[in-house]
Amino acid sequence: MSDPGLGFVHRFRTGERPGAASLLLLHGTGGNEDDLLSLGESLAPGAALLSPRGKVLENGMPRFFRRLAEGVFDLEDLRFRARELADFVADARKTYDLGDSPPVAVGYSNGANIAAAMLLLFPGSLGGALLFRPMVPLVPDRLPVLDGVPVLIVAGQHDPIVPASQPQELAELLRKAGADVTMHRSTAAHGLTREDLEVGERWMKGISVRR
């Protein structure tokens, strides 16, 4: 399905494994609600998939929040959009009967950044996060209590967009907040590779065991 109900154009696919974590799929700049569906199916076969389209347009390309320049984020808009997305997730969990556990976010680039912002600003909105090519979206005034929330950060060793220090700084920030952070650097640039998928699949199986 794809409709503007719940405030976001989105797709939802019903899960085939009762009790399994659902996935919140968050595309990168220029993507849409269809982009990460096949990735979600590969990462967690049978999981329910919730995939919204970002509302912000940059030169006609959907994003989840505004930026002022490459790597320079509009923090006021970021805070607003993170709250908006957290509210959407809460409403979607009720509408689609996704159970008591919040979804695990799978975000790529801009989608990874909004997912990281949700973790830092709205703890409890996500049950975990797989962040491909993220940056530090913002440093909150007060760190949340993430209490072991599992997070995998997958950076690209040859990424021309994300500065090499950013994923590590994000990992340290989330660890200070109490998240259980795993860091991996793929032999890749900004785009996703088979290595990224394999690392993500292993991590998803691991957190499924821990749940």
Residues 146-168: b if buried by 16+ CB within 10 A, e if exposed: beebbbbbbbbeebeebeeebbe
What are the residues facing 180 on neighbouring strands?
150
Contact 102, 115 (CB under 8 A): no
- Phi and psi at 104, nearest 5°, equal -95, 125
Strand locations in the chain (E):
10-13, 23-26, 49-52, 56-58, 61-63, 67-69, 72-73, 104-108, 128-132, 150-156, 180-186
Contact 64, 54 (CB under 8 A): yes
Q: Which CATH code is given to the segment(s) 5-210?
A: 3.40.50.1820
pLDDT at 202 over 70: yes
Indicate the pLDDT class of residue 208, thresholds 50, 70 and 90.
Answer: low
Mean pLDDT score across all residues of the chain: 94
Among 192, 189, 180, 125, CA closest to 159: 189
Q: What is the total residue count of the chain? A: 211
Question: Looking at residue 1, what is its pLDDT?
Answer: 55
- Which of 12-21, 78-87, 159-168 is predicted least confidently? 12-21
Whole-prediction pTM value? 0.95
pLDDT, average across residues 121-129: 97
pLDDT, average across residues 104-109: 98
Question: Looking at residue 31, what is its pLDDT?
Answer: 97
Question: Looking at residue 178, what is its pLDDT?
Answer: 98
Percent of the chain, pLDDT > 70?
A: 95
Catalytic residues, by residue number, are 109, 159, 190
What is the rounded distance in angstroms from the CA atom of residue 16 to the CA atom of residue 89? 20
User: What's the token pair of residue 21?
Assistant: 């974590």
Indicate the pLDDT class of residue 165, thresholds 50, 70 and 90.
Answer: very high
What is the rounded distance in angstroms from the CA atom of residue 72 to the CA atom of residue 75? 9
pLDDT, average across residues 134-149: 96
For 93-116, the three-class secondary structure string (H helix, E strand, C coil) is: HHHCCCCCCCCEEEEECHHHHHHH
Among 58, 2, 69, 1, CA closest to 31: 58
User: What's the token pair of residue 50?
Assistant: 């919730």
Domain residue spans in the chain?
5-210
Token pair 């940056």: residue: 135
